[in-house]
Amino acid sequence: SQTIHQWPATLVQPVGSPLSLECTVEGTSNPNLYWYRQAAGRGLQLLFYSVGIGQISSEVPQNLSASRPQDRQFILSSKKLLLSDSGFYLCAWSVRRVASGEQYFGPGTRLTVT
């Protein structure tokens, strides 16, 4: 069966510090991968998605970036965090090349920027 992992589970970082959140998927190959952010009062917003290694599409202009160094690894990064980066970050995957496929979410990372 497939599982999706995210770490860390919680993170408190000062403004201006760097960020690295990691997501890995087990039990499948060549998945589509997604990063979402859930901010208080704003709902879930798609940040990045990837259909393959090194293929990243950005949905929202921001000071965040994403990378996919391996098939089942998706990393969200920032060089300098802003207060507005606080939120709940969720990684998700779906079967590649299946546009109507179900999307599965990880447990999330709670980020607080102080």
Query: Binding residue for another protein (CB under 8 A) from 57, 63, 112, 114?
Result: 57
Helix/strand number for the chain, H first, E second: 0, 11
- Of 51 and 53, nearer to another protein (C-beta) is 51
CA atoms in the 13 A half-sphere facing the CB of 4: 22
What's the chain's Rg over C-alpha atoms? 13
CB of 71 to another protein, least distance (A): 16
Token pair of 110 as six digits: 């709670």
| Span 59-98, contacts to another protein by CB under 8 A | 59, 88, 90, 92, 94, 98
3-class state of residue 103 by DSSP: coil
Could you list the residues that contact another protein (CB under 8 A)? 32, 34, 43-46, 49, 51, 57, 59, 88, 90, 92, 94, 98-108, 110
